[in-house]
């Protein structure tokens, strides 16, 4: 391990928290020190402080996990909190009509973050989780967020390697660029088996008071029973309803970002 000299206390604490991932939600002290690139004594002191504050919890197996205090703080993020509260009734209505997975996401730089989801009891399984991040180029909500993102964000994503999740994931920048233009033309996105081979998602934008796209909502359904043409109006209507809750007026043409 090559500990970096001159690191601030804050950077060390953040590195410890950043060591946790969905695949590794529980870590030993040694694992935390190694993943954060900290000497073991330093990691021990910082972890003890995090446990005392409630950011981390130590289980009976000796492993550390993210604590509820950190979740409480994270839930106060204004962009997610207000939007989630306003969107949830419409999401529930969309679920009652379709009994399919409903997802709500926002863009964070060149990724998306899921801030709410309703899982259908008999719906197709999905890989997402609330608070989880995902690439913009593959999911329905991601494609909508990318289509209406600033030009520099679009170019950043298009210039980087595009991860292939299935054989149908669009990884050609030119083809993706044309797809984004089509999303702006139609007002919705379809991701057909681009993340898993058994699922299709249909997504639509949610606009803030100034007309810019601030989030996206989607339905994720089993591919064999999917009818994107029938689902698109439902998702678009949900997006407009949430937009109006945010104070958006549809009296003038919306900005295309």
Is 252 part of a structural domain of the chain?
Answer: no
Q: What CA–CA distance (Å, rounded) separates 220 from 113? A: 16
User: Do 41 and 130 belong together in one domain?
Assistant: no
**CB 103 within 8 Å of CB 134:** no
By residue range, what is the domain housing residue 54?
9-73
Is 256 part of a structural domain of the chain?
Answer: no
User: Do 121 and 174 belong together in one domain?
Assistant: yes
Is 240 part of a structural domain of the chain?
Answer: yes
User: Do 181 and 155 belong together in one domain?
Assistant: yes
Is 126 part of a structural domain of the chain?
Answer: yes
pLDDT at res. 138: 93
pLDDT at res. 252: 42
Is 88 part of a structural domain of the chain?
Answer: yes
User: Do 46 and 29 belong together in one domain?
Assistant: yes
User: Do 156 and 59 belong together in one domain?
Assistant: no
User: Do 18 and 51 belong together in one domain?
Assistant: yes
The share of the chain scoring above pLDDT 90, in percent, equals 63
Exposed, middle or buried by CB within 10 Å (0-12, 13-18, 19+), for 172? exposed
Q: What CA–CA distance (Å, rounded) separates 13 from 37? A: 11
How many domains is the chain built from? Answer: 2
Is 174 part of a structural domain of the chain?
Answer: yes
Domain stop point among 54, 73, 92: 73
User: Do 118 and 231 belong together in one domain?
Assistant: yes
User: Do 24 and 122 belong together in one domain?
Assistant: no
**CB 239 within 8 Å of CB 250:** no
Give the tokens for residue 78. 């204004």
User: Do 221 and 102 belong together in one domain?
Assistant: yes
Is 208 part of a structural domain of the chain?
Answer: yes
Q: What is the CATH number of the domain that holds 37?
A: 1.10.10.10
Q: What is the pLDDT of residues 114-163, one digit of tens each?
A: 889 998 777 776 767 777 889 999 999 999 999 999 999 999 999 999 99
pTM comes to 0.71
Q: What is the pLDDT of residues 207-233, one digit of tens each?
A: 998 889 999 999 999 888 888 999 999
Q: What CA–CA distance (Å, rounded) separates 92 from 12? A: 41
- The pLDDT-based confidence of 1 (bands split at 50, 70, 90) is very low
Q: What is the CATH number of the domain that holds 188?
A: 3.30.450.40
**Three-state SS at 209:** coil
Residue 196 above 80 pLDDT? yes
């Amino acid at each position: 391990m090559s500990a970096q000299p001159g690191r601030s206390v804050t950077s060390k604490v953040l590195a410890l928290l950043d060591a946790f991932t969905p695949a590794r939600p529980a870590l030993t002290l040694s694992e935390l020190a190694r993943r954060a690139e900290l000497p073991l004594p330093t990691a021990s002191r910082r972890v003890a402080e995090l446990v005392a504050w409630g950011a981390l919890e130590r289980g009976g197996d000796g492993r550390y996990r993210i604590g509820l205090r950190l979740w409480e703080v994270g839930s106060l993020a204004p962009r997610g909190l207000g939007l989630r509260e306003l969107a949830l009734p419409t999401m529930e209505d969309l679920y009652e009509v379709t009994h399919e997975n409903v997802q709500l996401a926002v863009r964070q730089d060149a990724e998306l973050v899921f801030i709410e989801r309703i899982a259908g009891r008999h719906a197709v399984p999905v890989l997402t989780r609330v608070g989880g991040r995902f690439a913009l180029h593959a999911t329905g909500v991601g494609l909508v967020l990318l289509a209406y993102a600033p030009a520099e964000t679009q170019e950043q994503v298009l210039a980087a390697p595009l991860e292939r999740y299935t054989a149908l994931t669009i990884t050609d920048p030119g083809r993706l660029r044309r797809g984004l233009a089509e999303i702006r033309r139609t007002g919705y996105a379809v991701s057909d088996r681009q993340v898993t081979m058994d699922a299709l998602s249909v997504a639509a934008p949610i606009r803030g008071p100034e007309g810019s796209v601030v989030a996206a909502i989607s339905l994720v359904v089993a591919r064999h029973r999917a009818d994107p043409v029938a689902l698109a109006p439902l998702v678009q209507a949900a997006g407009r309803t949430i937009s109006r809750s945010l104070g958006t007026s549809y009296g003038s043409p919306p900005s295309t970002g």
